[in-house]
Chain A
Amino acid sequence: MLLTWKRYRGKGIWVILLYLCYSVVTELINTYYNIVYHDTSYLNFNVFDIVEYCLLSWFAYILIRSKRLRYIILGLSSVFLVIAISRIFKPVFSTQVDSLTNVLESILLIIYSIFYLFEQIRKPDHIFFYSIPEFWFIVAILLYFSGTFFINLYAQGKLESDESFQLQYSVINTAFDILKNLLFGVAMMVKGGDQSNKISRIDFNNLDEHLNLNR
């Protein structure tokens, strides 16, 4: 990301950067906790889910143009935050993986990804919208949360006690995490994100003009 930073000026990139930094910090904390205390910090896991949701829904909010969809995002996010914060005060939050928060996060982020893709079908930002970085970020989010949806659904109560489940969780989660990071990498490499390539960006309010249909 840092290598392509100068070239890339896509919408909401700093949110993704923040998200990646936060992911790295969480991983470091978890590793430290694991090495020093030989235990897993579920509190850190669960807090990460909430912050992850906030950052990624913020990213989706920045990308989506429709006011109605934005209001829906705000509304759903408020509901999510109320549920998530209420879960913080329960003892299970610091001793187990909170599947409810996790699953809710996945569902909502999948919905926002579909919102974005639906909007892009109707009013594309680009003639070929898969050649802009935002598309690949959203695809990464969509695939990651779709792939880890079921494993997160079953994680609560099993991840702490069942060793075979821990292995399954680790394999599935890591596989989709790698896929997500690969797609983030693709997004960074896409040249459509380069603002000097202005021809590729279109005025979505006047697609006919852009395609020279009115000549």
Chain B
Amino acid sequence: MMFLQINSSDGHSIPYILYFGTLGMFTLAIALVVFIVFYQRRIIQYQMKMQRMEEEQQKLLLAASIQSQEEERQRIAADLHDDAGPLLATARLYLNENLVHQEVTTQLQAIFSAKQIIDEAIQLIRNISHSLMPSTLKNFGLESAINDVFQKINGSGSINASCRFHDYRRRLSTEKELLLFRIIQELINNTLKHSHASFIHLIQGRNNDQFFIRIHHDGYGITQDTYEKYKIIPEGLGLKNIHSRVKILKANITFEKDPSQTYFKISIELPLEAPL
């Protein structure tokens, strides 16, 4: 009130202050409203952009999943058509109608050959079946299945592969094991194909309610940036499959190079209690 009274005595200064003050306050209020409206619009635009990116990524993942399924079907079709088909056709040739008119030794020879071929076909179909769902994984769990894979890799002699499961007394659910196995399989395949590594080592452990797998190798690898990039571009089918499986598992995957720059590390961490 003091302020009012002091200024009120100055008859000339009041109108200017009044006009500028009123104009200033009004402009400020308008500016505030305009700023808030534009700011909110920017937020909405940003959220829309995020939504579009998410949709794009979903589409890429779906496409990768469909392509992967198609490739798998083609591989199975090729295996059946090129291997199992000719084997069974040959066995049929041995066991044709004329066989009854042949001599006994010839008949026995033909039956023996047909049996060998059928055994081969059975083995082939078993291999196809195992590649779809490894029996070791189903019957004995992730640890045995991974050990099997690593033994086979070691057997080739080109790379030194080892794995150690520190705490796998309680098995994960079958679905989780299969998803994790596929992720590890894809990572190992990528390492074998592209990294030119001399060793590959896998360790498993538990940390409170987290289950983790770490894979180390000394070849050429990718870092998290590359992985994130491949998630949003059409190339990199394998990595997209890994990403979609990781998402289903509600897990985290990180690709990094160790501080000494001598090896690459891939870590998969998943919550033990999270349902699929």
B residues near A33, Cβ cutoff 8 Å: none
Q: Interface readout for B161-191 with A: 1 if CB under 8 Å, 0 if not?
A: 0000000000000000000000000000000
Could you tell me if B25 and A149 are in contact, using CB atoms closer than 8 angstroms?
A: yes
Q: How many residues of B contact A (CB 8 A)?
A: 32
Contacts of A151 in B (CB 8 A): 18, 22
A121 to B41, CA, bound (A): 10
The answer to whether A114 has its CB under 8 Å from any CB of chain B is: yes
Q: Chain A's nearest CB lies how many Å from the CB of B139?
A: 38
Q: Cβ of B77: which chain A residues have Cβ within 8 Å of it?
A: none
Query: Contact at A143–B8, with CB atoms within 8 Å?
Result: no
| Residues in A whose Cβ lies below 8 Å from that of B30 | 143
- In the complex, chain A residues whose CB is within 8 Å of the CB of B108: none
Contact A99 B4 (CB under 8 A): yes
C-alpha spacing A121/B32, complex, angstroms: 12
Bound: A158/B30 CA distance, A: 28
Q: Is B106 part of the binding interface, using a Cβ–Cβ cutoff of 8 Å?
A: no
The answer to whether B18 touches A143 (Cβ under 8 A) is: no
CB distance from A125 to the nearest CB of B (A): 11
User: Are the CB atoms of B7 and A124 closer together than 8 Å?
Assistant: no
Contact A211 B8 (CB under 8 A): no
Shortest B142–chain A CB gap in Å is 30
Q: Which residue from A100, A156, A176, A211 sits with its C-beta under 8 Å from B51?
A: A211
A215 and B58 form a contact (CB under 8 A):
yes
B contacts with A: majority SS: helix
What is the CA–CA distance of A120 and B55 in the complex, to the nearest angstrom?
Answer: 27
Q: Count the A residues whose beta carbon is within 8 Å of the partner chain — how many?
A: 34
Query: Within 8 Å CB of A117, what residues of B?
Result: 32-33, 36
Q: How far is the CB of A115 from chain B (nearest CB, A)?
A: 12
In the complex, identify which listed stretch (A10-18, A73-81, A126-134) lies at the interface while the others stay far away: A126-134
CB distance from B194 to the nearest CB of A (A): 33
Chain B 12-48 residues near chain A, CB threshold 8 A = 14-15, 17-18, 21-22, 25-26, 28-30, 32-33, 36-37, 39-41, 43-44, 47-48
Interfacial residues, chain A to chain B (CB-CB below 8 A): 99-100, 110, 114, 117, 120-121, 124, 127-130, 139, 142-143, 146-151, 153-154, 156-158, 168, 172, 176, 207, 211-213, 215
- 4 closest residue pairs by CB, A with B: A150-B21, A146-B29, A146-B25, A147-B26
Which positions in B face A, CB cutoff 8 Å? 1, 4-5, 7-8, 14-15, 17-18, 21-22, 25-26, 28-30, 32-33, 36-37, 39-41, 43-44, 47-48, 50-51, 54-55, 58
5 A-B residue pairings within 8 Å (CB atoms): A117-B32, A121-B40, A147-B22, A150-B17, A156-B4
